[in-house]
Chain A
Amino acid sequence: MTKDYSSRKLERKQRRCEAIIHTDVGIESSEKPTCFLAILNAGLSTGLTEESVLSNAIQYAPVQQVIMLPNKSYCFLKCDNVNNAERIYNHMHGRAGLEQRGGVVYLSYFKSLPICKEENIWTKPLPEGLVLLPDFLTESEENMLLKAINIEDVEQSDLKHRRVKHFGYQFIYGENNVDPTKPLNEKIPNECDILWPLLKTEMTKLGLPTWDWDVPDQLTVNIYEPGQGIPPHVDTHSAFLDPIFSLSLFGDVVMDFRRGSDRQPLKLLRRSMLVMSGASRYDWTHGITPRTLDVVPSETGLTVMPRQKRISLTFRRLRRGPCDCTFPTLCDSRINAQSNLCPVITDVIAAQLEEKNVHSVYDCIAPHFSETRHTPWPRVAEFLRSFQTGSVLLDIGCGNGKYLQCNNNALTIGCDRSSGLINACLERAKIISETSTNLPNAFRCDCLHVPVRSQAVDGCISIAVIHHLATAERRLAAIREMARLLRPGGRALIYVWAKDQRANDNKKSAYLLQNKALNKNKTTVEQQRQCAAAEVQQQQTEQFEPLIPGAPQLPVHTNRTDFMQQDVLVPWKLKGASVANKDANNSAPSSTYLRYYHVFESGELEAMLAQVPDVELVQSYYDQGNHCVIFERRQK
């Protein structure tokens, strides 16, 4: 009886998981055994790793492929025949041991595997410019080099996860750079001299190009204990020339190369030399996942390789100048140049830019945008509530009207440039007005020409508006317009997005904190930047976007990361299917809209205010990643 009950329960669980997988990735389970197995209740999202699945499964039969999908609580195995799959099924299904917490896992057969990019991850050609030279050194040469770099004296350094030693120049980790004016006393050991003629010979033998500079002048030795790794990174473009050489000594490891969503592992055997040049040096990140087992190909499919202690020697040549590569996404020289470039925009172009990259965008995204904006910021609400009964308050750029009901003892009027947002304002009021008869007072206008009598209002607010104006003159004009509307003694509040999203004692703003993938170390800023760049590029080729003649090419910001420039295009991703149609399988493709922003430097708003007559700064502060000012119109 009990057994029947538990087996029925188990079966129900299986069916439920199979249905989820079917919805997620569109593959069907199979009653009959097949070569394809799914582990139904353990995957990346439950903390399962590829290497732990594999090391467990290959105890029973060879495995050809493991598919772990990001953020999923299931994963897949492929065997070369049904018998092998059955053996794994029989040994693992309904048993504990795979998951760390000792939970039981359930397996099912599937008719196929989910279509995924990583099918032949080990047989793909290497990233462009990447060359691996196995058995580059003999064992005696390896020993000689290990002796020469003398790692015995390397103490536990300030790096959390591995020990390092530098020759030639110190690599400064906080800045990810070297100081070319401060060479170290300890140069690259002479014993390393044997490497360079050898390397040139090997490269020439393979018909590959070499480089036009002499020999490296900087060496970083990394000592990795089993289980240690290095986060995905690109060697700072402006710090070092192309290429970069990495010699593996003492132990083997798998290094992961990533570009956007592409991942490519590479097995680095002891005594091999890796040459990273071109795209592989500038446009791909490389890193080593901290783990004690690496998944590697074997004769029977896949297997796991236990990590050993490994010593890597990275040889580089200082660049001593800005980088001139053709890979802009991760290029620090390019990014810094852009941030210093102050685009010259005329009034006419600014209006066109705002029309295309602010007004049209808000009209398109209004309903979705409004869904994400319903909680008033406390300090804005507090400002509105500070006005006495009978006051007249004006919200310039009221959006969906979330601030129009903050002070019911005042007459609060809203206005916005976007008809889409004003409509959202009405929709929102209809929902709220079930309990209150306070209909929104709103009209459509531009913040540079507010159709309201001069000196008529007690208070006005401009929340997240002025940063959408594309020249300093227009931003100043918007503030002047606010000042015009205030009665003497009236007060205004402005919020604009801050370039510095960590102004609170280097604490990340809510905007940065929402970068969940980054917080969980699932990705890196570099990787996010690559993905964002690829997406925007794809979108721009798919939809013909007419350019505004004379408008500057503005950089596209990567959401939930620090701002690199003041004038940027910030993507808004609009999901094709609305939340209501989420179940509909034919979700329309999502589209990305680019909104223009001028993010403010600290003090910029105050400096502008100083140019407006008859007003006085009352308070300035930083709130929710915004620079904020309160100002007052002087009494006559």
Chain B
Amino acid sequence: MRLSTYNFLTSKAIKGVKVGFPLKLTIAKQDVVESEFNPTFIERLLPRLDWSGIRLAAEVAGLNDDIPAELPANVAENEELLKKLHHLLLEIDVLEGQLECPETGRVFPITDGIPNMLLNEDEV
């Protein structure tokens, strides 16, 4: 699971959960896969992402210092930040770990890079 995908995942489908976002991420094993940097792509992707989710991902990945607390207004001209975001969101691949619902504590394991978000019938 790349951290861009993490940015979209929620546990809101669980009965009684109000927001279910961001999920608590734990990384046990990760891989870094280099990919081509496309500044336009990152810049246009940003408005679709949740900044608090990006911050949380950076924290867990140990890249806290790379990502500012707030999204700067002139990010398009800040290629250095775009590169850091590119690395955080598209190059880090979580192989083993887990996601946890912030409200119920329900754990979703990540195995071989695939989060299992499947809920039981009685949870929904």
Contacts and interface: CB of A to CB of B under 8 A. Distances in A.
Interface of A: 351, 388-392, 409, 411, 413, 415, 417, 419, 422-423, 426, 437-439, 441-446, 448-454, 456-458, 487
14 contacts: A389-B40, A390-B42, A392-B45, A411-B45, A419-B116, A437-B36, A439-B2, A439-B93, A443-B115, A445-B118, A450-B13, A451-B13, A452-B9, A453-B9
B34 A453 contact: no
A391 B8 CA distance: 13
Contacts of A411: 4, 45
B48 A444 contact: no
A354 to B, nearest CB: 11
A456 B12 CA distance: 14
The 3 closest A-B pairs by CB, nearest first: A390-B44, A449-B13, A451-B117
A446 B41 contact: no
Given A441-B2, A449-B13, 5 more contacts: A389-B38, A415-B117, A426-B112, A443-B5, A444-B115
B118 A441 contact: no
A446 B4 contact: no
A392 B118 contact: no
Given A392-B45, A439-B93, A453 B121 contact: no
Contacts of A444: 114-118
B28 interface: no
Contact of B9 (A426, A438, A449, A451): A451
A443 B117 contact: yes
A443 B2 CA distance: 11
A444 B115 CA distance: 6
A389 B114 contact: no
Contacts of A446: 118-119
Nearest to B22: A453
B114 A453 contact: no
Nearest to B20: A451
Interface of B: 1-2, 4-5, 8-13, 21, 33-36, 38, 40-45, 48, 50, 93, 112-119, 121, 124
A445 B118 CA distance: 4
Question: Among A391, A426, A438, A441, which residue has the most Cβ atoms of chain B within 10 A?
Answer: A441
B2 A437 contact: no
Given A409-B41, A413-B8, A392 B119 contact: no
Given A390-B41, A390-B48, A458-B48, A443 B116 contact: yes
Contacts of B50: 453
A149 B66 CA distance: 98
B41 A389 contact: yes
A449 B5 contact: no
A367 to B, nearest CB: 16
A449 B118 CA distance: 8
B93 to A, nearest CB: 6
A487 B11 CA distance: 19
B105 to A, nearest CB: 16
Contact of B114 (A351, A443, A457): A443
Contacts of A454: 12
Nearest to B40: A389
Given A390-B44, A390-B48, A441 B117 contact: no
Question: Among B4, B13, B38, which residue has the most Cβ atoms of chain A within 10 A?
Answer: B13
B114 A456 contact: no
B65 to A, nearest CB: 25
A390 B75 CA distance: 15
Nearest to A451: B117
A458 B112 CA distance: 27
A392 B44 contact: no
B118 A417 contact: yes
Contacts of B48: 390-392, 456, 458, 487
Given A444-B115, A451-B117, A392 B35 contact: no
A456 B10 CA distance: 11
B34 A437 contact: yes
Question: Among B1, B8, B13, which residue has the most Cβ atoms of chain A within 10 A?
Answer: B8
Given A417-B118, A443-B117, A456 B8 contact: yes
Contacts of B40: 389-390
B14 to A, nearest CB: 9
Contacts of B13: 449-451
A473 B1 CA distance: 32
A409 B42 CA distance: 10
B107 to A, nearest CB: 13
A449 B124 contact: yes
A411 B3 CA distance: 12
Nearest to A422: B114
Contacts of A351: 121
Contacts of B93: 439
Nearest to B19: A453
A443 B42 CA distance: 22
Contacts of B1: 441, 443
B8 A437 contact: no
Question: Among A351, A411, A423, A444, which residue has the most Cβ atoms of chain B within 10 A?
Answer: A411
